[in-house]
Amino acid sequence: MSQPAAAAVAAQPQGQAAAGRQGGGLGQSLAGIVRMAVFWYFASKFFGPKRAPTEPGLLMSNLFQKGEPMDMWMYLSENDKFSDFGNEDALIWHETNIPYAVWTPTSTRTHTLTYYPTEALKHNGSLYAHVYFSRSGYPVDPTDPEYEQKSAFGRTHPIVAYLRKSKAGHKKSLLGDSDESEEKLPPKENKESEDKEEGPVEYISYWKPNVTINLVDDFTRYPQNNIPPNVAPYLNVDPTTNSYYPTVFFNEFWLLRDKLTALNKTVKELTLNLEVSPISMTKWQLFLQIEQSFQVHRSYGSMLEGEADELKRVFLEGNPYLLGLTMIVSLFHSLFDFLAFKNDIQFWNKNKSMEGLSAKSVVLNFICQLIIFLYLLDNDTSWMILASSGVGVCIEFWKIGKAMHVEVSLL
């Protein structure tokens, strides 16, 4: 291969090691994600649209058989459409006799290569991986005389992601009049940084170092006019037979943002870890449901930017037994908070006398609770902890009206 394309290196297994701190309230956020995924599953089961009876002749089936050997080709191109199958420089990986949807030692293949980026790629260019599969011995080039449409299929996946540039945080001191960042910068430089942050949103191109290709173990007979909405975007149907090809899923669930490499003119070479392996239908659906839950939480503002990566990091680095214990403790903590709020409200609602109670202590408790809530809010704490603290502030404020006679007069 030529240098502008990719230079293959010895194959080696893909690593998933990651290091980083865990954000506050990860256990509570994780419990919320699990509850949302379970609720979404049962809601789609019981409250989704009823499926009309379908004739057996209108059912779509998989074109391939379980365990059938397949060949794979992967090409890299700066265009999202690919037809140059004879270009040896674009071909970066080729595997043969991959058994479909079975778990054997030969089902998982890995490969690592070094890619030398072009100048266009360094300056916000695009790069795509074009992955093609075929029955063993069949070509994927449509111009080949032995090409058979029912025996070859492919998918395209971007290798470069465009993400919003992270802005430096300017935190306000609760006890001072200046920002923390302003104290470290001269006035002129600080003014320029503020002007840049107030400008248009800037996006940066990032290199994805890992590409995991999963062949889904799916042999479901789907009705032609009633394909499940979570499966439909991934289903590739052959128009001549009305059957579907094996589902190809580019698994980026464990690809965290801190593993991405920013592309600029200083980058000389990039590492690309490749893997092709089977995935069960249940695991695939679970990944889709969790990602959908993340999107729902972001749309409601209950999940901060980067919190999804922190939750995934818990699964990657955390002990599963300790993780389960954390979830149980978080659920009990929420339950005890609710019971404490209920008892506190019942006591003050029935209380008719301040005998033995101090009105000043009630006001002081409200001020302390408010300071704690503002501190948690400033530190981007989990929304579940913020909700518990916010409810406590509201109750303490309500108790002031019960402990003291407050009047508001309009002059």
- What is the DSSP annotation of 358-377? -HHHHHHHHHHHHHHHHHHH
Same domain, 29 and 65: yes
Q: State the pLDDT at residue 409.
A: 65
Q: Which residues pair with 325 in a beta bridge?
A: none
Question: Does the residue 182 lie in any domain?
Answer: no
Same domain, 389 and 266: no
Question: Does the residue 177 lie in any domain?
Answer: no
For the question of whether the overall pTM of this predicted structure is more than 0.85, the answer is no
Q: Which residues pair with 70 in a beta bridge?
A: 98, 135
Inter-residue contact 102 to 66 (CB < 8 Å): yes
Q: State the pLDDT at residue 135.
A: 97
Fill in the DSSP letter of residue 410: -
Same domain, 153 and 238: yes
Same domain, 296 and 387: no
> Using alpha carbons only, what angle is made at residue 365 by residues 360 and 368, rounded to the nearest 5 degrees?
125
Question: Does the residue 67 lie in any domain?
Answer: yes
Q: To the nearest 10°, report the CA torsion of 61, 219, 237, 235.
A: 150
> Using alpha carbons only, what angle is made at residue 183 by residues 179 and 184, rounded to the nearest 5 degrees?
125
Kindly report, residue by residue over 166-225, the tens digit of the pLDDT.
655 555 555 555 454 444 445 444 444 444 455 677 889 999 999 999 999 999 999 988
Q: To the nearest 10°, report the CA torsion of 150, 152, 157, 159.
A: 180
Cα separation, 379 vs 4, in Å, equals 45
Q: CA 306: distance to chain centroid? A: 9
Question: Does the residue 269 lie in any domain?
Answer: yes
> Using alpha carbons only, what angle is made at residue 198 by residues 192 and 204, rounded to the nearest 5 degrees?
95
Question: Does the residue 180 lie in any domain?
Answer: no
Cα separation, 108 vs 172, in Å, equals 51
Domain assignment of residue 389, given as a range: 321-403
Boundary (domain end) residue, out of 318, 349, 375: 318
3-state DSSP assignment of residue 320 = helix
Kindly report, residue by residue over 237-292, the tens digit of the pLDDT.
998 888 999 999 999 999 999 899 999 999 999 999 999 999 999 999 999 999 88
End-to-end Cα, the chain, rounded Å: 86
Question: Does the residue 69 lie in any domain?
Answer: yes
Phi, psi of 316 (to 5 degrees): -70, -40
Same domain, 325 and 312: no
Question: Does the residue 194 lie in any domain?
Answer: no
Same domain, 360 and 309: no
> Using alpha carbons only, what angle is made at residue 161 by residues 158 and 162, rounded to the nearest 5 degrees?
135
Domain count, the chain: 2
Same domain, 310 and 330: no
Inter-residue contact 156 to 130 (CB < 8 Å): yes
Question: Does the residue 181 lie in any domain?
Answer: no
Cα separation, 290 vs 252, in Å, equals 12
Q: State the pLDDT at residue 402.
A: 80
Q: Tokens 């006035």: give the residue.
A: 187
**Number of Cβ within a 10 Å radius of residue 33:** 21
Same domain, 294 and 329: no
Same domain, 365 and 266: no
Same domain, 241 and 229: yes
Same domain, 61 and 160: yes
* pLDDT tens sequence for the chain (411 residues): 444 444 333 334 344 333 333 444 555 555 556 556 655 665 555 555 554 444 555 899 999 999 999 999 999 999 999 999 999 999 999 999 999 999 999 999 999 999 999 999 999 999 999 999 999 999 999 999 999 999 999 999 999 999 987 655 555 555 555 454 444 445 444 444 444 455 677 889 999 999 999 999 999 999 988 899 889 999 999 988 889 999 999 999 999 998 999 999 999 999 999 999 999 999 999 999 998 888 888 787 767 777 788 888 888 887 878 888 888 988 888 899 889 999 988 888 888 777 777 888 888 999 999 999 999 888 877 777 888 889 999 999 988 888 876 666 665
Boundary (domain end) residue, out of 295, 318, 341: 318
Cα separation, 157 vs 130, in Å, equals 7
Same domain, 52 and 154: yes
Cα separation, 335 vs 333, in Å, equals 5
Boundary (domain end) residue, out of 284, 299, 318: 318
